[in-house]
């Protein structure tokens, strides 16, 4: 037996033993997701146990180095981990912006001290992070951002406003883009980390069309940020921000997802599938979904060995989010009038309709589909003037 | 297994790309044979060169003198065939017939494989019986007669049938037309009495035949594999053809896409390069992602087939459908973005559109394979 097959056996046995049965059920709504953090309320004992058991082994962040709270898995091992998780339909033990976005950026740009401190907290689910990028006047054109940090010797004083800050009211810390030089557009932004309980930080939830309010306006009124809380060099935050966006886009694309959940024809059949044209649409969708799964696998394999085009996460984000919107359109069509229910118990509090509405944001958040196509045109296809 | 080419495969891809880029070009092959009204539709000299490079035996076992490689490697050659629109009997002979013969006995393999390996023989596969691919239903009959069988029926869309030294024929030795069981594969020599072929030139200048089997008498040793139990072997042959055609489609799409993006960077209108128009940029970028995804589906299917996985069947249909969809988009966008010049015979982009259409039908189009995806997924 090869080392990898032995490794697979170990992982399989560990999962069998340690993943609680409740954690093998599909995620149905946002509160099934374990976000961690100081304010997080576990939904049940199983969720807590699952996160803690994984954190103890480094499995919340399997491919991070052991020194920073991970399990130190190489690319092939991490792939086996994903496959074995998918095999039993296990939920991720911990989901967070720390894992998907800040962590990779710190691994690349952080000091040793920052890595040990912040990455460990993320891996153990102790600190929940939010992302302070967008501003009212700066969405797709993010680099025009205005939030300003004034140099006060050993600290900055930050003033300004962010918007669409997901979970700002639930997060413990923020990674934030702040202008530190008004004379230089790209090289005048710094990447700062600070506590959301710092004096001067306030948030105001925004209600979404889904009826939920997972994001906020975030205001900074003379917020003091110590100088050691910068990631990367002064005024070079745009490099960190862009690198992080690559990881964000990869995450939103859904690469590495589970085929059983990604295809919908078999699932739709359980509701009765009598319309032949709908069935045909589902079949065409499942072709695209299974092909995209292969793409996700290929992308993750290639990115680990540096074979993927550096701008490929933009393609993944574009294709993955457009596919996910189509998936939920079809799920609504399959559900018929029952899927319209907004707050009934039978509908799980309108989970079908609310999720459908929520997916419309997939092609907006983290860079819109149009912006993704712009980036592909420029960086991959090298088209003129793009 | 990682979803990209390993070192050996990457080397093969370099060789194939370079060789086909020199010898398999549209000018040297497709246009040359087309303009000559060649009755084969392809060049035998190039087929000989395929043999010298070992390509003809990629899927033939080492014990039989081949390279003993898999569908990933065959797909590498097919992608270059697609990119250059090279007319070649590779897919029917070295991929499909070779897979069929792999399930035959020593005597049969000894009779046919050396000619294939040497690039002297060409084979065709006769499965379809109407204008659409419906291999679940086979009406051609083979009845026991004398020391062998007598075949009666008709076949359609037999690609390279007119040039073939031998046809792999799927016929029914038992049961009703729609039965799973009761299928037998036969190796029928081109000069068998009672075999007649009607050749037709197709939209892409390739040649195919309608085959009539009018009580064709073959010996028992023409049977490939087991009598009545040929469905499994037939499915292997079809899957080899499907994933192979999908790989060729990815090549066709890639060729059309490269031509198109090159054009976007050359053609000026309104005082600017047309590639500067965002409307075209977005369509090109969308096409790029569809092609990347199709390519991933194809290599996944190839690897699963090579590994003998029970998920291969589903993924082969995904690959054929997705590659067909992506390639069809590539050639349509290709012609449109070239404007008027795209409609001329002199310019190559239209040739891509024609080849795509023929490949789309070969071994089942995207609708057929989406239907299979539904059935294999349980709905
Ligand atoms: C659910 C959700 C969660 C979010 N979470 C966060 C978060 O946690 N932190 C954070 O910082 N931000 C977050 N965002 C904000 C998100 O990143 C922005 O909404 C996004 O970047 C788009 O900016 P905008 O909303 O200002 O739209 P605009 O930039 O105003 O875009 C409007 C339209 O114009 C199009 N457009 C703009 N520029 C171009 C162009 N050059 N070419 C072609 N079309 C163009 C866009 O594609 C879009 O269709 C979130 C957004 C959503 C919906």
One domain, residues A147 and A208: yes
B305-330 burial, b at 16+ Cβ within 10 Å, e below that, comes to bbeeeeebbbbbbbbbbbbbbbbbbb
Residue of higher predicted confidence among A268 and B255: B255
Q: Which domain holds residue A54?
A: 3-95
Whether A29 and A90 share a structural domain: yes
CATH of the domain at B17: 1.10.540.10
- pLDDT confidence tier of residue B271, bands split at 50, 70 and 90: very high
What CATH number is associated with residue B343?
Answer: 1.20.140.10
User: By the CB < 8 Å criterion, does A164 face chain B?
Assistant: no
Average pLDDT, chain A: 95
Per-residue pLDDT at A31: 80
Q: What is the pLDDT of residue A212?
A: 85
In the A/B pair of chains, how many CB contacts fall below 8 A? 143
Q: Is the domain of A231 the same as that of A258?
A: no
Question: What CA–CA distance (Å, rounded) separates B144 from B173?
Answer: 8
pLDDT score for B156: 98
> Is A103 inside any structural domain?
no
Q: What is the ipTM of this complex?
A: 0.96
Averaged pLDDT for residues B280-292 = 98
Same domain, B45 and B72: yes
Mean of pLDDT values over A210-225: 94
- What whole-number distance in Å separates Cα of residue B363 and Cα of residue B375? 17
Q: Given CB atoms, is A379 within the 8 Å cutoff of chain B? A: no
Regarding whether A225 and A304 lie in a shared domain, the answer is no
Among the candidates B227, B252, B278, a domain finishes at B227
Which candidate from B4, B319, B374 shows the least CB-CB separation from A279? B374
| Mean pLDDT across B160-188 | 98
Same domain, A266 and A337: yes
- Do A61 and A168 lie in one domain? The reply is no
In the reported structure, the alpha carbon of residue A371 is separated from the centroid of ligand 1 by a whole-number distance in angstroms of 9
User: Is the backbone of residue B146 left (phi > 0), alpha (psi -120 to 50) or beta?
Assistant: left
Residue A359 falls inside a structural domain: yes
Helices (H) and strands (E) in chain B, counts: 11, 10
**Assigned domain for B156 exists:** yes
B328 in the same domain as B360? yes
pLDDT digits (tens, 9 = 90+) for A111-130: 999 999 999 999 999 999 99
Q: Of all protein residues, whose CA lies closest to atom 13 belonging to ligand 1?
A: A164
DSSP A92: P
Is A386 close to B322, i.e. CB distance below 8 A? no
Residue A301 to residue B3, Cβ atoms within 8 A: yes
CATH code where residue B142 lies: 2.40.110.10
Indicate the pTM of the whole model: 0.95
Residue B2 lies in a domain: no
> How far does residue A327's CA lie from ligand 1's centre (Å)?
22
**Confidence (pLDDT) at A304:** 85
Is B300 an 8 Å CB contact of chain A? yes
> Which residues, 6+ apart, have CB-to-CB distance to B54 below 8 Å?
B66, B67
Q: What is the C-alpha to C-alpha distance for residues A129 and A112, in angstroms, rounded to an integer?
A: 20
- Answer yes or no: do B138 and B169 share one domain: yes
On chain A, the residues whose CB falls within 8 A of the CB of B379 are 265-266, 268-269, 273, 279, 282
Same domain, B245 and B365: yes
Residues B236 and B201 in one domain: no
Residues B246 and B269 reside in one and the same domain:
yes
B142/B69 same-domain check: no
The domain in which residue B259 lies consists of: 232-376
Indicate if the pLDDT at residue A340 is higher than 90.
yes
Contacts of B318 in chain A (CB under 8 A): 287, 290-291, 294
Q: Are residue A277 and residue A350 in the same domain, yes or no?
A: yes
Return the pLDDT at B18: 98
Residues B95 and B148 placed together within one structural domain of the fold: no
pLDDT at A1: 61
β-strands A155-166, A148-151 pairing: antiparallel
How many domains, chain B? 3
Domain endpoint, select from B227, B258, B286: B227
* Range from A250-264, B13-27, B205-219 carrying the lowest mean pLDDT: A250-264
Q: Is there a domain that residue B190 lies in? A: yes
Residues linked to residue B213 through DSSP beta bridges, in sequence order: B153, B195
Nearest-CA distance A254 → chain B (Å): 14
Shared domain check, B99 and B23: yes
Nearest CA distance, A77 vs chain B (angstrom)? 11
Q: Which of B163, B195, B227 is the last residue of a domain?
A: B227
Domain count, chain A: 3
Question: Is residue A279 a part of any domain in this protein?
Answer: yes
Pocket of ligand 1 (CB under 6 A): A 130-134, 139-140, 164-166, 215, 361, 364-368, 370-371, 374
Is B1 inside a domain boundary?
A: no
b/e map B86-99, b = 16+ CB within 10 Å:
bbbbbbbbbbbbbb
Distance from CA of B325 to the nearest CA of A (A): 10
pLDDT of residue A202: 98
Domain assignment present for A246: no
Q: Are residues A259 and A231 in the same domain?
A: no
Q: Which residues contact B252 (CB under 8 A, 6 or more apart)?
A: B82, B83, B85, B327, B330, B331, B352, B355, B356, B359
Report chain A residues whose CB lies below 8 A from the CB of B272. 384-385
B237 and B210 assigned to the same domain: no
């Amino acid at each position: 037996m090869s080392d990898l097959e032995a490794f697979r056996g170990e992982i399989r046995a560990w999962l069998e033993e340690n993943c609680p049965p409740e954690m093998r059920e599909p995620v149905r709504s946002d509160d099934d997701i374990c976000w961690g953090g100081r304010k997080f309320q576990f939904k049940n004992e199983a969720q807590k146990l699952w996160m803690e058991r994984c954190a103890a082994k480094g499995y919340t962040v399997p491919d991070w180095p052991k020194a920073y709270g991970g399990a130190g898995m190489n690319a092939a091992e991490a792939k086996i981990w994903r496959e074995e998780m998918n095999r039993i339909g296990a939920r991720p033990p911990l989901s967070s912006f720390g894992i998907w976005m800040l962590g990779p950026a710190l691994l690349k740009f952080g000091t040793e001290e920052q890595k040990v401190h912040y990455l460990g907290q993320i891996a153990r689910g102790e600190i929940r992070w939010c992302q302070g990028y967008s501003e009212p006047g700066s969405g797709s054109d993010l680099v025009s951002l205005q939030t300003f940090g004034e140099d006060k010797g050993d600290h900055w004083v930050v003033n300004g406003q962010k918007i669409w800050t997901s979970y700002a009211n639930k997060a413990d810390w923020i990674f934030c883009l702040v202008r530190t030089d008004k004379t230089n557009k790209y090289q005048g932004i710094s990447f700062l980390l600070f506590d959301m309980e710092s004096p001067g930080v306030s948030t105001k939830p925004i209600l979404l069309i889904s009826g939920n309010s997972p994001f906020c306006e975030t205001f900074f009124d003379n917020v003091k940020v110590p100088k050691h809380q910068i990631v990367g060099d002064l005024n070079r935050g745009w490099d960190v921000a862009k690198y992080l966006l690559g990881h964000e886009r990869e995450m939103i694309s859904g690469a590495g997802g589970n085929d059983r959940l990604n295809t919908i024809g078999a699932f739709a059949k359980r509701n009765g599938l009598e319309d032949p044209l709908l069935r045909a649409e589902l079949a065409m969708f499942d072709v695209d979904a299974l092909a995209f799964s292969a793409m996700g696998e290929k992308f993750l394999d290639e990115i680990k060995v540096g074979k993927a085009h550096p701008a490929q996460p933009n393609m993944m984000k574009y294709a993955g989010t457009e596919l996910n919107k189509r998936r939920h359109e079809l799920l609504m069509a399959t559900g018929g009038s029952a899927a319209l229910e907004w707050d009934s118990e039978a509908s799980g509090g309108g989970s079908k309709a609310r999720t459908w509405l929520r997916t419309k944001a997939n092609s907006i958040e983290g860079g819109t589909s149009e912006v993704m196509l712009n980036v592909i045109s420029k960086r991959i296809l090298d088209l003129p003037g793009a | 297994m990682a979803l990209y080419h390993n070192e050996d495969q990457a080397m093969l891809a370099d060789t194939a790309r370079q060789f086909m880029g020199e010898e398999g070009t549209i000018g040297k092959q497709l246009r040359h044979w087309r303009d000559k009204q060649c009755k084969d539709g392809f060049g035998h000299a190039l087929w000989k060169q395929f043999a010298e490079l070992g390509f003809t035996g990629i899927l033939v076992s080492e014990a039989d003198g081949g390279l003993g490689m898999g569908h990933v490697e065959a797909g590498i050659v097919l992608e270059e065939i697609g990119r250059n629109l090279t007319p070649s009997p590779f897919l029917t002979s070295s991929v499909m017939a070779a897979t069929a013969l792999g399930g035959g006995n020593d005597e049969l393999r000894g009779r046919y494989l050396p000619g294939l390996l040497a690039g002297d023989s060409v084979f065709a596969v006769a499965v379809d019986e109407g204008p659409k691919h419906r291999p679940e239903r086979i009406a051609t009959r083979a009845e026991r007669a004398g020391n062998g069988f007598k075949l009666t029926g008709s076949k359609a869309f037999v690609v390279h049938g007119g040039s073939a030294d031998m046809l792999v024929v799927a016929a029914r030795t038992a049961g009703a037309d729609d039965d799973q069981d009761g299928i037998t594969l036969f190796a029928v020599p081109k000069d068998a009495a009672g075999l007649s072929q009607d050749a037709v030139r197709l939209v892409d200048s390739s040649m195919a035949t309608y085959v009539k089997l009018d009580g064709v008498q073959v010996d028992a040793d023409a049977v490939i594999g087991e009598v009545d139990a040929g469905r499994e072997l037939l499915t292997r042959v079809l899957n080899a053809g499907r994933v192979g055609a999908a790989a060729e489609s990815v090549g066709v799409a890639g060729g059309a896409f490269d031509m198109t993006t090159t054009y976007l960077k050359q053609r000026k209108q309104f005082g600017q390069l047309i590639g500067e128009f965002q409307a075209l940029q977005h369509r090109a970028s969308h096409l790029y992602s569809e092609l990347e995804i199709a390519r991933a589906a194809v290599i996944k299917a190839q690897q699963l087939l090579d590994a003998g996985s029970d998920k291969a069947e589903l993924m082969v249909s995904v690959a054929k459908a997705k590659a067909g969809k992506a390639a069809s988009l590539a050639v349509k966008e290709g012609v449109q973005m070239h404007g008027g010049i795209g409609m001329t015979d002199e310019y190559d982009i239209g040739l891509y559109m024609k080849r795509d259409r023929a490949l789309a039908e070969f071994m089942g189009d995207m609708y057929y394979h989406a239907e299979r995806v539904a059935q294999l997924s349980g709905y």
